[in-house]
Chains A and B, each alone.
Chain A
């Protein structure tokens, strides 16, 4: 019947749309531990914004207030006045998650490369969640803490490697001077 097909299509379209948002959210490490019901609650909290091509999401030096998830589209991450391209992120990727914990200035500028649909999750949303749903807030905080510790570990390793290299170069310099 025609009506059935019509309604069937409407529901199928909606279900597909909803599913895609949840799939996107579930891929984000910050929300990885959440079940479908909790993801639905997160979806209600998120701010959906639409950006035109070339529109700036945030600029280097702005206070960081939260993270962004690309639901659809592509963004360029650039550095400095010369706009040195650091990375290009697209569907399902995210950035700015550390700003959920501290209000330190943004380290790069993010610009929409094409018309994009972006989801924003901010410090105030996280604090609200910790107040109204501590269990979910804890899951998210734990994930952020894990990511931060992972980055710290990498930084430490990198730091050690750089130090070793520096020592090596210093030794080489000393040896050259000795000759």
Chain B
């Protein structure tokens, strides 16, 4: 292939655009996170608004009703769960801050020595590693609640954005399409419709599954009398958004807390059985019902998506990485299909 000046310039411009896009995504990562979360919530709630519309309500009334119900549910959950949740977070932070983890390390080290005798605990240097890990974990946990998305942003901007995306989403989509040239308009409409068909079930399924798994985990850990059962249970639910890694990542905090609290093999076994039962319910009952795994992502893509999400957007990015990868996969494959079918290239 001949490398003409024109081609070279185009390559440079192309690379510059990619770099600019990457830089923009990185710089605007907070706003993008807020937008993604709002769009996801609005998208998940859309069928509810459509259902209410089908019952004869206007879109505006339907949106207001959904919001009222949502606020009542969130308010009640906050009223009942927040004291436990925040005291658990506070305890966790105080205990980590006080350097109380040396006791925990001792507990874990004695557990390892007792059960896995061939490992020399002095070589593991668990204390330093754990200190680093907990510092990161606490930082990340609070990043979600406080730093990354300030409480104000979350409480005000997300509901505000969700309200308008839910109410005006359809007209926004129509306006977006109206800007497209006539040549691409039919294809765009067709592709958007197909993406909606595939993604609707997938995303709603994913979040329903995460919610149910979270609730089941909270209940199981509460029955087993594990400390921080709400935080760990809810984390397990969210972690379930990540296939393969999620279920394991969800169980680890519960196991760690039990070891720290001096729990024996029996307690650990109970926790493992509880998580196995939750996963069994998820696999046998929930997944066939919600068809959330319908967008087949390659395990390698999942791993890299989680790593990239974590790099740019922290824990929240890791949790939202898989649904985002799903969105990108469906969008690109449908776009390529559409371009081929409409002979645009």
Chain A contacts to B: CB under 8 angstroms: 44-45, 47-49, 51, 55, 57-59, 61-63, 65-66, 120, 122-124, 127-128, 131-134
Contact = CB atoms under 8 A, between A and B. Distances in A.
Given A47-B174, A124-B193, A128-B170, A63 B53 contact: no
A59 B190 contact: no
- The bracket for how many chain B residues form the interface is 20 to 34
Nearest to A68: B186
A13 to B, nearest CB: 23
B270 interface: no
Contact of A65 (B170, B174, B182, B189): B189
Nearest to B171: A44
Contacts of B178: 47-48
A62 B186 contact: yes
Tell me the dominant secondary structure on chain B's binding face.
helix
A55 B190 contact: no
B182 A123 contact: no
B50 A63 contact: no
A47 B185 contact: yes
A131 B193 contact: no
Given A47-B174, A47-B177, A62-B343, A132 B54 contact: yes
Contacts, number: 53
26 contacts: A47-B177, A48-B178, A49-B182, A49-B185, A51-B182, A55-B182, A57-B182, A58-B186, A59-B343, A62-B341, A63-B190, A63-B341, A65-B186, A65-B189, A65-B193, A66-B189, A122-B186, A122-B190, A124-B189, A124-B190, A124-B196, A127-B193, A128-B50, A128-B170, A132-B53, A133-B54
Nearest to B47: A131
Nearest to A131: B50
Contacts of B144: none
Interface string B164-176: 0000001100100
Given A63-B342, A124-B193, A131 B185 contact: no
Interface in B309-345: 341-343
A48 B174 CA distance: 10
A133 B53 contact: yes
B54 A123 contact: no
B182 A122 contact: no
In the A-B complex, the 8 residue pairs with the smallest Cβ-Cβ separation, listed nearest first, are A124-B193, A132-B53, A65-B190, A131-B50, A132-B50, A63-B341, A65-B186, A122-B189
A45 B343 CA distance: 27
